[in-house]
Structure 1
Amino acid sequence: MTGTKHNNLSSCTTEIIYHVFQRSFYDSNNDKHGDLRGLIQQLAYLQDMGITAILLTPLFTSPYYHNYFADDFGSIDPAYGTMADYFDFADAVHRHGMKLYLDMEIQYVTEDHIWFKDSFKNPASAYSDYVLYQDSANETPETIIFDTNGLLGYDGVYKDITTVNLLNSGVQSYMVSLFRYWIDPHSDGSFKSGADGFRLDHMMDMLDNKQRLSNLFSKFWRPLIEKLKAIKPGVVFIAEQTDWSSFGQEYLTEVGADKVFAFPLREAILTFSKENISEAAAQTFSLSPDQSQNIVFIENHDTHRFATLVDSHPGKLRTGAALNLLLGGTPAIYYGQEIGMTGGGGFGKYGNSDGNDIPRREAFKWYKDMTHPGMAAWYENSGPWWEDSSLQDTAVSASAEEQIAAPGSLWKYYQLLMQLKKKHPALAYGEYKKLDNDSPGILSFLRVSKEQTCMVLINLSDIKERAYMDVEAYAGKKKVLYQNLLGNMQIIPAVKNVYIEMEPFSAGIWECQNIRSSE
């Protein structure tokens, strides 16, 4: 194996997911709402950065800005565009060589959904058993998540919400048809304009601890996935664990999902502890037959922004990027993460309203001028979340426009790491292997593929660190040659094989020649 020659490096298969809150991404028609046409206009931006797949939040019509809790599973929120716009978007994604994943939350419906509206106080309705009631007269709808009966929108509109009966045969048939439509919308077997996979929101074996909805893994989710894979074998299902402390392996083995979220690894990353990250990574990647089944992320639409959690510390932002993209698994980048957008909010921040999470879902900061066309500030002047917005604070994070033009910016660093992943097989899809060292602050590991082995070192501390590593132990005592791929640090031969000095919050990558590859 040589250090610089790999066959078809440009075709290394790797997936980097961009998780986008589309209402806040890019506005194409000056109504301040991000939309599908806006996404089409910015596909080149995503491709230039290195993104290979896009995960949307729900598209369904809903009274809520986030489109969870649907009015109609079969239609698109008109603020995003028409079904024709969606087809154009899906086709454009595929022309750019990317995949498209849709977020599906199907466990609840609002009072305006036909199942709820027609069956409420009407036990004779054809949909009487499609949703759950606590009484035979259908006068008391079943509660939803957090044992609530509805939700107040940021705009002051309150809607009742109830739980869908996922064990009803009519519901199950409908759901197969619904997913089939999004896979093959033209119903001709071509799968043109279809989704490549789905994020399955809030998956539970017993939904919200309701005995009436027990054994959903075996009675609803697995049969649904099996039927859809019979239609399109390559369709991907990403399960969101409800328990964020779970590694999620039961979703892979019992449900048949293809990927889960690496929640415990994210929590470890936030500690900047070598011991915590090393242990969480080892557990995460050892519990699944394929390490790529774990989606590695540092923020999403339900969490504080990573930049907020690290006080926008430049070194920690770059270290977060390195951990997100280099540890292994399938990395996911939440829109705005690449430019260090901030945002907190969360449950109860502004009372009982879905506006609590708006700070985590703000308009993407495309331009230094916040009034520039394209800015999706749909929530402008709508409440305290706007008053607290960090969008206009240029000291917090520079815009994408500024960072793309600035050498050494956070955006440029994300782009560089993604380019390296695409170029080098070990970084693209190689297995994670722990590599011990004697430093308290340097995390070291190998990424090993059949073609190549790379060594990754990340200094998690705010001081210069030194480390010794016995790399030859992994090479069958063969002499190892190192080619630097990232950083300007020098590997120095020493008694314990190699010695390295690293600046605070720095990362380095080396290709290691003569190390045994995985078969």
Structure 2
Amino acid sequence: MKSKFLLLLCLISGINVLAQKKKIVPKVMVKDEVIYHIFQRSFYDSNGDNHGDLNGIREKLDYLQHLGVTAILLTPLYDSPFYHNYFADDFKAIDPKYGTMQDYLALIRDLHKRGMKFYMDMETQYVTQGHDWWVDGVGDPQSKYSDYILYDDSAHTQPSTIIFDLKGLKGYDGVYKKITTVNLNSPKVQDYNYHLFKFWMDPNGDGRFEDGVDGFRLDHMMDNLDNKPALPHLFSTFWDPLFAKLRKVNPRISFVAEQANWATFGKDYLTAGGVDRVFGFRLAMAIRSFDKSQLAKAADSTFQLVKNGKQQIVFIENHDMARFSYGVKGDIARLKIGAALNLLLGGIPSIYYGQEIGMSGTNASLGATDANDIPNRSAFDWYKSGKGKGMAYWYKQKGPWKEKFETDKPNDGISLEEQTEDPNSLLNFYREMLALRKANPVLIGGAYKTLTNNNDQVFSFQRTENGKRIVVAVNLSERNQDVAIQIGGKETKLNQLHGIVKATIVPAAKAGDPNTIKLNMAPNGVEVWGLE
């Protein structure tokens, strides 16, 4: 569970015959995609129980499409004793607080009718004390599940620990639950995973996939799970073979890895691991730094790794990180820089729910409990007052810390209601950037290149595709900056797409010199031009 371990733990916190016969169109990488990452328990409550749910997401699909979203990624849906659902009691049972299987299928079909995609978060590397493999297997070496989980003794009375040698976690409600590591070396477990993933790809087994997921996010994916000697080389023995078998069922399915080591670019996941996409963690950290050199280095390295149809997920927030707004103290200009870089740099953009209205929050320090992450996963603020239909205040219902989570305040400007009609709001800036991206396909699939300039406070880059070129300049400072951006090429005209600076191209002074753009940028300014 990745940082839910790096963070939450620091805190502690057979192929269907019809499918075989059916001709399936080979997989193509869809470039025009914007993912909306939802912690669904906190998004929108459709039935008044204070828990966000599947029907609540359906009710808000119009909002997401108006924003410019084309796909949604949910955190795990399966039944679990933990509020975040990352440790399962049953991988095939949907948490009742989210709804029923019928609700789930209705959401998937509605998404697909709208031309939208659905990604499911999966972490099958661990199970809880309530899972059948534990209930039937612990203490019984003769159980049919005897090799489904790892044990530290031959009598199978001591299920192996998870990351950091933990034996379990205390939930936000104060209840401690035991957790153990799954034996991914077991042929039975490997076969179980194949059929489990295949089920979510095609729940009714008709080989058509209208009711199935479009891809999976693989939480805390590792080659050597938690550095346990018993689970080495999983890329070659578990993950890549699993993906290969599933692609035979549906060649269009996509696998997205959350690399366990956030400091890496994830290259080994794209090659040896067999995934289609990885999350650009180092790029996310560079964007948060507002440091030109870090940005250029991370962007150059990140996008150079994208080869042979592979892709990077570009983001600035997720459910394991302090909100971007917290880091910039709610500064609207800095929030807009984050939005522009998130959406224009390249790759597949991902927006974490509430990011578009500047929701804030950072990890709490409440001891050994997963409650520490709740401020990063609090209720989407739909209303100016913080009250109203659909507010998902599940974490205020019980637990010794329920009064501590007050990330929403009335009349603070951080709500959908307050920002919808404000032309200068962060929400409408996100809409503007997404509309700009959609209107200029070069910003969707164009190649990335950092552009040299003479100012350490200005980050500049270009996107190019099919003879089209767009240049973006971002003033990372809070002061006016003079800059000369080397653009090269033979273009002689700038078509302004966003910004306030009316710049012109300065022709090369002599043969071999690059053309340049000279301008004075406003504090925290974002300028976008098409070159002709």
TM-score, normalised by the number of residues in structure 2: 0.91
User: Cα distance, 1:333 vs. partner?
Assistant: 0.5
| Aligned position for 2:504 | 492
In terms of mean alpha carbon deviation, does 399-408 or 37-46 score higher?
Answer: 399-408
Secondary structure of 2:523's partner?
coil
- Determine whether 1:176 maps to 2:203: no
| Aligned position for 1:358 | 374
2:520 partner amino acid:
E
- Determine whether 1:387 maps to 2:404: yes
User: Cα distance, 1:381 vs. partner?
Assistant: 4.9
5 Å-filtered alignment, 1:63-462, equals: 63-289=81-307, 293-345=311-363, 349-382=365-398, 383-384=400-401, 386-392=403-409, 394-395=411-412, 397-462=413-478
Checking the alignment, whether the CA contact within 8 Å between 1:118 and 1:127 is kept in structure 2 is yes
Matched length: 495
2:519 partner amino acid:
I
CA-to-partner distance for each residue in 1:193-219, whole Å, 9 max, x for gaps? Answer: 100000001011111110101110000
| Aligned position for 1:3 | none
CA distance in 1, matches of 2:421, 2:381: 14
User: Cα distance, 1:371 vs. partner?
Assistant: 2.5
| Aligned position for 1:57 | 75
| Aligned position for 1:482 | 494
User: Cα distance, 1:394 vs. partner?
Assistant: 3.6
Identity of aligned residues (%): 49
User: Cα distance, 1:313 vs. partner?
Assistant: 1.0
* CA 1:291–1:427: 2 relative to 1, 3 Å: farther
User: Cα distance, 1:451 vs. partner?
Assistant: 4.9
Secondary structure of 1:255's partner?
coil
Secondary structure of 1:468's partner?
strand
Cα-Cα RMSD: 1.4
| Aligned position for 2:512 | none
CA distance in 2, matches of 1:90, 1:319: 33
Aligned equivalent of 2:529, options 501, 506, 510: 510
CA distance in 2, matches of 1:365, 1:413: 18
CA distance in 2, matches of 1:183, 1:441: 47
1:390 partner amino acid:
T
| Aligned position for 1:5 | none
CA distance in 2, matches of 1:504, 1:370: 32
* CA 1:401–1:290: 2 relative to 1, 3 Å: farther
CA-to-partner distance for each residue in 1:139-187, whole Å, 9 max, x for gaps? Answer: 1110001210001111121111111001101111110000001001110
Checking the alignment, whether the CA contact within 8 Å between 2:79 and 2:95 is kept in structure 1 is yes
CA distance in 2, matches of 1:389, 1:469: 45
Secondary structure of 2:230's partner?
helix
CA distance in 1, matches of 2:466, 2:133: 53
User: Cα distance, 1:266 vs. partner?
Assistant: 1.1
Secondary structure of 1:254's partner?
coil
Structure 1 unmatched ranges of 5 or more: 1-11, 514-519
Secondary structure of 1:379's partner?
helix
Checking the alignment, whether the CA contact within 8 Å between 1:23 and 1:80 is kept in structure 2 is yes
Structure 2 unmatched ranges of 5 or more: 1-29, 510-514
Secondary structure of 2:33's partner?
coil
User: Cα distance, 1:469 vs. partner?
Assistant: 2.1
